[in-house]
Chains A and B, each alone.
Chain A
């Protein structure tokens, strides 16, 4: 029972919780990792079955593929997400500095133009 969003606020997506606790919709990179993991699981499991015709072993390969592909996508996506957050923070601070110091001797643009003309 979520609180209704304030006017102008983006609506929180309806949460889908895998195994009752992993909120796939609202956790960054979770949906992407689980989807690719499921695809990897189907490809690995079905591929193994096509070559060997062993059902149980193919299921094991499928589960292993799901775990490995999900983990791999997860770390890759979270690494990029962390890099993006850092870049956003740097951009936000630069914008703030620019607004605060524009026209003064501390203006970052003036410093930058000064160093490039030297």
Chain B
């Protein structure tokens, strides 16, 4: 989860998120250099003694400041598109989970190996145990195995919601009447938090998502099916 006042991305828990962090670093370096150049140009503008009022054009400079941004945009777009197509790869998921957004909770359905369906509500502050996270912990977590491709089918029963887990690099809109699909493979066990990411009413901020990722051996023993 994010710590207080965290601005940067969370540590990656899936290969896609690792790629996203790499791309973010790449774009940020380009942005830094552009900002540096702009600050220098501003400094020059403020300290110049050149006051020629008869300048009418500057063809060479105009050519440079047209072509250079185009090159920079290509340098940013190519890795971006690579990751975009990577996120759309579907690699034979082992498990399919359905996630249905409601006002203001999530319903999860494990229908591959039985008919497990449960709701996931945020824990109200009065029900928090010591160590629980306020506004993030839920009564029933989504328990999933690591190192297995998982398919999430996401929809909504009422208004728009969005199912997001930043550590996995996931954010998929839950749209009523539409089934959206996202796949992921988690690489590390742990508990990962997310929050609804599409405004959906009064309690939009109070319908978190919690994934509990456990080793496949333990998942196969069936802890998730003992609810």
Q: Interface residues, chain A, CB within 8 Å of chain B?
A: 1-3, 18-19, 21-23, 26-30, 33, 56, 63, 66-67, 70-71, 74, 78, 82
Contacts and interface: CB of A to CB of B under 8 A. Distances in A.
A78 B21 CA distance: 13
A78 B33 CA distance: 16
8 contacts: A2-B3, A3-B3, A19-B39, A33-B29, A56-B44, A70-B29, A71-B29, A74-B29
Interface string B12-44: 000000000010011011011101110110001
A74 B28 CA distance: 12
A70 B33 contact: yes
Contacts of A28: 25
A1 B7 CA distance: 11
B25 A27 contact: yes
B35 A19 contact: yes
Contacts of B22: 78, 82
A67 B37 contact: yes
A22 B28 contact: yes
A12 to B, nearest CB: 10
Interface residues of B, number: 19
Given A1-B4, A1-B5, A82-B22, A22 B40 contact: no
A19 B31 CA distance: 10
B8 interface: yes
B3 A67 contact: no
Contact of B40 (A19, A30, A63): A63
A66 B36 contact: yes
A82 B28 CA distance: 17
A21 B40 CA distance: 18
A30 B3 contact: no
B8 A30 contact: no
Contacts of A63: 36-37, 40
Contacts of B44: 56
Contact of A67 (B25, B26, B31, B36): B36
Nearest to B18: A85
Interface in B112-150: none
